Structure 1
Amino acid sequence: MKPNLITMIPALEGEELVHLQSITRELSDEQLQSFIAVYNGKRRKTDDILIGCILGFVCVGGIQRFMVKQNGMGLLYLFTGGLCLIGTIVDLVNHKKLTFEYNQQMAREALAMVHSY
């Protein structure tokens, strides 16, 4: 277990930690530091996505989708009132999954950047 991941990435959750440990297992310490720096800049916290979902009820639907770079779905939610609030409710229930999928994609991008150096 690499303690750098736990101490260097704020609000890291269990499933995300396991995923990061598996993809960074073979990185050197220097590569790991680079990965952490890039990943920290790209990842989203679960609480931020939850707040975006709640704002979808009050302000504009689709904020959470724009936050995870799903611009097409964000526009759809924007113009349909969060798919008549049903999509916003589903996202509210599944906000952790939405965040984890986005963070997995950002981890792959960060890993590709580290390997390209």
Structure 2
Amino acid sequence: MRPNLINMVPAIEGEELVYLQALTKDLSEDQLVNFIALYNGKRKKTDQILLGCVLGFVLISGIQRFMVRQTGMGILYLFTGGLCLIGTIVDTVNHKKLAFEFNRKMAIESMAMVHAYR
């Protein structure tokens, strides 16, 4: 029986679940387990990104961009005060999109690693 992604990936949301189901449909059960182990170690939950955005208001602007490996944007936010807080506000509103884009990249990277170990 094929493992259920909802039970294997903590705090997964709808769009991410649909994406992962389409991405992993052709994997064997062992490959799926390996993929999930790799993916869970790399992915960011949306609440982690939201926390980074909130911390950008009170501590270090751009921390959310560093969390999703957008170093250039993180440095820009750091030196401009989150683009005068406007960029930080936009990121706070769009934190789910930031998390999904990062997680999609991590899923592709994890899938490449699973295929490399065949």
Band of TM-score, shorter chain: over 0.9
Q: Which residue of 1 aligns with 2:29?
A: 29
Amino acid at match of 1:109: E
Q: Which residue of 1 aligns with 2:52?
A: 52
Report how many aligned residue pairs link the two structures. Answer: 116
Q: C-alpha displacement at 1:4, in angstroms?
A: 2.4
Unpaired runs of at least 5, structure 1: none
Q: Which runs of 4+ in 1 moved over 4 A?
A: none
In the alignment, is residue 86 of structure 1 matched against residue 82 of structure 2?
Answer: no
Unpaired runs of at least 5, structure 2: none
Q: Distance in 1 between matches of 2:4 and 2:22?
A: 14
1:37-96 CA distances to partner (integer Å, 9 max, x unpaired)? 000000000000000000000001000000000000000000000000000000001000
Q: Distance in 2 between matches of 1:112 and 1:57?
A: 36
TM-score, scaled relative to structure 2: 0.96
Checking the alignment, whether the CA contact within 8 Å between 2:3 and 2:29 is kept in structure 1 is no
Amino acid at match of 1:21: Q
Q: C-alpha displacement at 1:8, in angstroms?
A: 0.9
Q: C-alpha displacement at 1:19, in angstroms?
A: 0.1
Q: Which residue of 2 aligns with 1:116?
A: 116
Q: Distance in 2 between matches of 1:94 and 1:64?
A: 11
Checking the alignment, whether the CA contact within 8 Å between 2:44 and 2:103 is kept in structure 1 is yes
